[in-house]
Structure 1
Amino acid sequence: MKFSPFLALALAGVSVAQSINIRKPRPGASLDRGTPIPVTIQALTDGLKIQEVSVVISMATCPGGKCPSAGDNIGTILYAGPFQPQGAGTPQETFNITIPNSFPTGPTELLATHFLLVGEGGSPRVQIAGVIVYVEPDS
């Protein structure tokens, strides 16, 4: 079978042309336990045919201030369910999550794990986005 560099580039473009971002909270934000916190996830679709499946919002602690690589540890799940981003251009959806009072304080990685199907054949994809935030001690 002959390998085509053009085909490789086209396939690479499909795999990276759709991604997600955590718009809120911003990196470095201080978050309180036990209080609803808006988490906004933005889907960048680049005009591809996308079928949204679901999203998981979770938090993974950063022991000793060192956070694991996104995807190494999903951590504590705060939301798991449908993802239905709305809006023209860069659709997004906001979820209100609550950090449990028992969650450790300090640096934490807030993660969004996105499950979707791409293209006419519905090729499965998993995407992970993360931001480092700080969970505040109770006042």
Structure 2
Amino acid sequence: MKSFFVLAALATSALAQRIAIGIPTDRQEIPAGSNFTVEVDRPNSLTGSTEVAIAIGLASCSRFPGGSCASLDPSELLGTILYAGPYSPQLSNSSKPPHQNFTVTIPNDFPHGDASFTVSHFSLVGAGPFAFFETQNTTVQIV
């Protein structure tokens, strides 16, 4: 019974550390060859954590059945890596949660159509600490 409570506490702590993709929004149109800003949010939490890194990737859905992103598992395929490195979200003077912006470039020859935009996040959570890894994604339109 004691181990159940420990596992439940760890799971709750991990859920409090989740990121969110602020920009781009779902179904946002992004021109191939363009630079654009990516906003990765990480809401405040009472549980301590140390941010380690993120990777931002873009995978064309045109190579999947019907050109649909539905059959793509973003935790298994990041596609073209647009950024990989440190993540250090900061609180700003706006109403936004702590976040960090990244300027990335969509390759000129990236296929047009639906694409899975994925952010993979790694952090250390709690006093232990324990490793926490997650993947968030949204579908964008490359035009």
* Common topology (TM > 0.5): yes
Partner residue in 1 for 2:113 = 106
State which drifts further: 125-134 or 40-49: 40-49
Q: Which runs of 5+ in 1 are unaligned?
A: none
| 1:31-85: CA deviation from partner (whole Å, max 9, x where unpaired) | 0111111110001242221111111111011133221122121111000111110
Shift of the 4–114 alpha-carbon distance from structure 1 to 2, 3 Å rule, reads: closer
The question of 1:87 aligning with 2:86 is answered no
Shift of the 4–82 alpha-carbon distance from structure 1 to 2, 3 Å rule, reads: closer
State which drifts further: 44-53 or 26-35: 44-53
Q: Which runs of 5+ in 2 are unaligned?
A: none
- Deviation of residue 3 (structure 1)? 5.3
Post-superposition, which runs of at least 4 consecutive aligned residues in structure 1 deviate over 2 A?
2-9
Any conservation in 1 of the 2:54–2:121 contact (CA below 8 Å)? yes
* Identity value in percent: 34
- Deviation of residue 6 (structure 1)? 3.1
Q: TM-score, normalised by structure 1?
A: 0.88
1:1-139 paired onto structure 2 within 5 Å = 4-63=3-62, 64-67=66-69, 68-87=72-91, 90-136=97-143
Tell me, in whole angstroms, the C-alpha distance in 2 between the residues paired with 1:45 and 1:19. 10
Tell me, in whole angstroms, the C-alpha distance in 2 between the residues paired with 1:8 and 1:95. 34
Tell me, in whole angstroms, the C-alpha distance in 1 between the residues paired with 2:21 and 2:102. 11
Structure richer in strand, relative to its length: 1
Q: TM-score, normalised by structure 2?
A: 0.86
Tell me, in whole angstroms, the C-alpha distance in 1 between the residues paired with 2:125 and 2:98. 16
Structure 1 counterpart of 2:81, one-letter code:
I
The size of the alignment, in residue pairs, is: 135
Any conservation in 2 of the 1:19–1:45 contact (CA below 8 Å)? no
Structure 2 counterpart of 1:60, one-letter code:
A
